[in-house]
Structure 1
Amino acid sequence: MCYIAEGRAGACDRYANEGGALVRLDPLTILSNTDVPVVPFLDREWDGEIVSGEDSFITAVGSGTTYPDYKPAPFIVASTAADTDMITVVTEGIFSYCGAKVKIDTDRHLGNECAPVRSDGEIIGHVTTSEYGSQMLSLGGVHHLTGGSKKEGRATCAALLALCNGEEVPLTIDQGAELQIAAGQAPIVNGLREERMRVGCGSATVGMFAAQWKGLVDEVVVVDDHITGVMSEHQAGKVIGWAPTGIKIKGRRSTPGRYFQVAEPGTGWGGTDLTDPLDILDTFKPQAWPGLSILMVSTTGEHAAYYELDDALVPVQKDMPERLLPSVARIEENCEPSLTSVLFMAGAGGSLRSGVTENPVSLTRSVQSRLTRVTCGGAPVMMWPGGGITYMADVTQMPKNAFGYVPTPALVAPIEFTMTRDDYQALGGHMDYVMPLEEALQGMTGRQSDHRLSGRRGEARKPGAPWPVGPK
């Protein structure tokens, strides 16, 4: 129902009018099961030999959709793998029910749980849970795409499209941080690029390095927004014979040597709002002694300071002794690089399934029973249990520019369903539209397609990714 003038592209940038014919602007993308980024088959004429599904895999990137869903998928491809006849159904899906789960590796506080996340001033998601060394965002979803204002829907769609295609996106969190994030890149928080995620919580850090600190310092406090660890009270310290120091911590005591809520969340020491770690220390008990040495360090090793008690049992900062520098460096060494991870999440329901079979629920049951493998641009997916076909895919494992959009607004994402030929026939697949892989590689647009492909591109399989057409 779009009208595109000759020589112009449509609003979605997916189709153009070339001499009165619709041309798909994104090339059909084919994976090669080699380290070479070009598919050799595309560079020569087909010689009539059978092409193995173990060598080439047609992704849905650039394939086109089944919309308005009365017709079979653009490509239903037959191939062989491990001497087994396989079928791969290839189509792009138009997803209103989709979003992105974003994992940001940082020890800093980004925002309160459930705080709105904004792009271009519009709410496009919210902060969810904090995980071990990471903060999580939930972005998109049908309510932001279609349930709000037009501006909210467009802002949500634009942010999701950019994130899923690997572009950097600026975001703000209400009463929280300003972010610049891109999949596979270190996040920028309040203008500063993050370098590392935490080695563990404060309690875990105490346990990991207790033996290395024994005999070098009288007390160690690992400052952490979640669980601050105190060596002399901690079970790890008790086991190796650490002497009591009379230290007192402001905070809610959990088990020995573990304290909650020592400060407010923030971007300072250990994800707290602290700029001076002494703020969490109360007056020392009389069993403390002048000259008692204290190492205070964060869970990333980014912050560290050394103190000694004076005659009034008050901590006084001193230069960090050489003997303690290796242990602080060891904390940093054990911290993994900070990255932003973007998982595209979608529900492949409704009419998309009719492009695979005349009885859509049979595809759902085949996926749930693991007879049908789902991939997203050839990338492996994590299938959610329960009803429907709900999956997540790491966008860095997908071909470049794998996502598009339509003005609904909704994302257009690739999806492929691979199964044995017998299983495809059993679920009522469109057997009359099956084409050999070699025929599809020659550039046919699918027997039910109503547009021409603009070309083809080859990509090598991502390192470490399983081959889509392979053994279970």
Structure 2
Amino acid sequence: VTEAIFSYCGVKVKIDTDRHIGAEAASVRADGEAIGHVMTAEYGSQMLSLGGVDHLTGGSKPEGRKTCDALLRLCNKEAVELTIDGGSSIIVQAGHAPVIDGKAEERMRVGCGSATIGMFASQWQGLVDEVVVVDDHITGVVSEHQAGKVIDWAATGIRINGRRSTPGRYFKVAEPGNGWGGTNIDDPLAILGQWRATKGARAGLSLLMVSTTGEHAGYYVLNDALEPVMLPMPAALQTSVDLIAQNCEPALCTVLFMCGAGGSLRSGVTDNPIHLTRSVHSDETSVTIGGAPTYRWPGGGITVMVDVMEVPDGAFGYVPTPALVAPLEFTTRRDAYQRLGGHNAHIRNLDDVLETGGEYGAGVRVIGGDP
């Protein structure tokens, strides 16, 4: 058990939102200093990579200090305001909803537009003639989609302004943004082309347009010129929109602390550090941070990640290097510890430590109840 100093460390931040917060690889800043960048987006979430040795010690002193301060507060579950070059201002706090450009996000999308069609097509049948689920990733059209085909959904002559992927699935219907379905549009009709009477379009045809969170929805009927006219949402269709919202999970921020256990740290466990590395790789020795389970990356070294929500409050500190300080534990059987060349002469049992104090005297704190 030790307090480990990490200059090779950072956090991976998952932000549950379909809103566009910034271009991939755009710099992320805290108090004006670059501390990381936007990563590849994941399903229903935007991702940030913050910290790392280049920001902590490889740049200017202000950059290092601001990086360390932001990492420390994020790991200790505090709120941190970040700005993204060419993008949004975000307040991030582990376990809380993200606040994007001053607005708290409520829901994580139920799925992409295509997935939403697959989930709810049968519930829309008989209530409306066409459904378009607007999504920056994949916009879905029920009459063309396989989920519509298997229930004999009639063609409507709709035309989508986007790049057709497979039937009923469209890419790039608009640019990324903070509008409908993570696009930059406020009027969903902007993604529609001319309706085709030869393909089934007719006056009186009804259309539901909805986003992947149910936050945006509109009901339309084609007039004699085959132009959609907005009308009040029928109660039965509103129920289906509400169902989309009900199936969305709460939007949260997730912060994973990532670090590498280096040479001097390992020598505190054994006279021959490579033996500890091999013991960890073989799962004979487990690695925890503040008692929380970690994910160990394959390959060389001891590189681990932990969900900061699983770590005791206030567990992280810092040193002026700048670098973070985190609790780190290696746990193994006594016979295995002896085999890897551990410091056997210094082994003490827990009762002795609790009675007489640890390395720092009587300053003992028991976490998790009675030993």
Task: Give 1:385 shift.
Answer: 0.6
Task: Report the AA paired with residue 442 of structure 1.
Answer: E
Asked if 1:340 is matched to 2:253, the reply is yes
Equivalent position of 1:162 in the other structure: 73
Which residue of the partner structure matches residue 444 of structure 1? 357
Name the counterpart of 1:201.
112
1:177 aligns with 2:88: yes
SS across alignment from 1:325: helix
Cα distance in 2 between the residues matched to 1:452 and 1:103: 40
Q: Are 1:147 and 2:63 counterparts? A: no
Q: Which amino acid aligns with 2:365?
A: R
Aligned-residue offset at 1:129:
1.2
Map of 1:420 onto structure 2 = 333
CA offsets per residue over residues 92-129 of structure 1, 9 Å max, x none? 11000000000001111111110100001000000001
Alpha-carbon separation, structure 2, partners of 1:407 and 1:149: 14
* 1:355 and 2:268 matched: yes
Provide the residue aligned with 1:224 in structure 2. 135
1:244 corresponds to which of 155, 158, 161: 155
Distance (Å, rounded) in 1 between the aligned partners of 2:346 and 2:357: 12
* Partner SS state of residue 414, structure 1: strand
**Gap change, CA 1:174 and 1:443, over 3 Å in 2:** farther
Q: Which runs of 4+ in 1 moved over 4 A?
A: 451-455
Distance 2:211 2:218 in 1: 9
Distance 2:335 2:81 in 1: 48
The 8 Å contact of residues 399 and 459 in structure 1, kept in 2 or not, is answered as no
Question: What SS class does the counterpart of residue 332 from structure 2 fall into?
Answer: strand
**What is aligned with 2:215?**
302
After superposition, what is the alpha-carbon deviation per residue over 1:136-168, rounded to whole angstroms, capped at 9, x for unaligned?
Answer: 100000000000000000000000000000100
Instruction: Quote the residue 2:39 is aligned against.
Output: 128
Partner residue, 1:407: 320
Q: Per chain length, whose mean CA-contact separation is higher, i.e. which structure has more relative contact order (CA < 8 Å, sep 6+)?
A: 1
Aligned residues: 369
Q: In structure 1, the residue corresponding to 2:94 is in which secondary structure?
A: coil
Identity in percent? 67
Cα pair 1:270 1:298 within 8 Å, conserved: yes
SS of the residue aligned with 1:129? coil
Relative to structure 1, the CA distance from residue 339 to residue 429 in structure 2 (aligned partners, 3 Å threshold; closer, same or farther) is same
2:288 counterpart of 1:375: yes
SS in 1 for 2:39: strand
TM-score, normalising length from structure 1? Answer: 0.77
Shift of 1:459: 3.9
Asked whether 1:392 is paired with 2:299, we answer no
Q: 1:453 to 1:144 in 2, by over 3 A?
A: farther
Residue 445 of structure 1: how far off its partner (Å): 2.4
Aligned amino acid, residue 277 of structure 1: P
How much has 1:441 moved relative to structure 2? 1.6
For the 8 Å contact 2:114–2:141, the answer to whether it is kept is: yes
Distance 2:109 2:237 in 1: 19
Residue of structure 2 in register with 1:466 after alignment: none
Structure 1 position 442, deviation (Å): 2.3
Instruction: Label 1:127 to 1:455 Cα distance change in 2 as closer, same or farther (>3 A).
Output: same
SS at match of 1:400: coil
1:257-303, Cα deviation, whole Å (9 max, x unpaired): 00000011011110011100000000111230001100000000000
For the 8 Å contact 2:357–2:364, the answer to whether it is kept is no
**In 2: Cα distance, 1:179 partner to 1:350 partner:** 37
CA separation in 1, counterparts of 2:318 and 2:304? 19
Give me the whole-angstrom Cα distance separating, in 1, the residues matched to 2:113 and 2:52: 35
What is the CA distance between 1:326 and its match in structure 2? 1.1
SS at 2:48 equivalent: strand
Unaligned runs of 5+ in 1: 1-89, 462-468
User: Is residue 91 of structure 1 aligned with residue 2 of structure 2?
Assistant: yes
- 8 Å CA contact 2:358, 2:364 repeated in 1: no
Code of the residue aligned with 2:286 in structure 1: it is R
Post-superposition offset of 1:457: 5.0
Which residue matches 1:118? 29
- In the TM superposition, what whole-angstrom CA distance separates every residue of 1:406-433 from its partner, at most 9, and x where no partner exists? 0000000110000011100000000001
Look up the match of 1:80. none
What is the DSSP-based 3-state SS (H/G/I as helix, E as strand, rest coil) of the residue aligned with 1:442? Answer: helix
Which ranges of structure 2 fall in alignment gaps of 5 or more residues? none
- 1:351 partner SS: helix
Q: Aligned equivalents of 2:341 and 2:207: distance in 1?
A: 71
TM-score (norm 2): 0.98
Matching of residues 56-75 of structure 1 within 5 Å: none
What RMSD, in angstroms, separates the aligned Cα atoms of the two structures? 1.3
Are the counterparts in 1 of residues 291 and 329 from structure 2 also a CA contact under 8 Å? yes
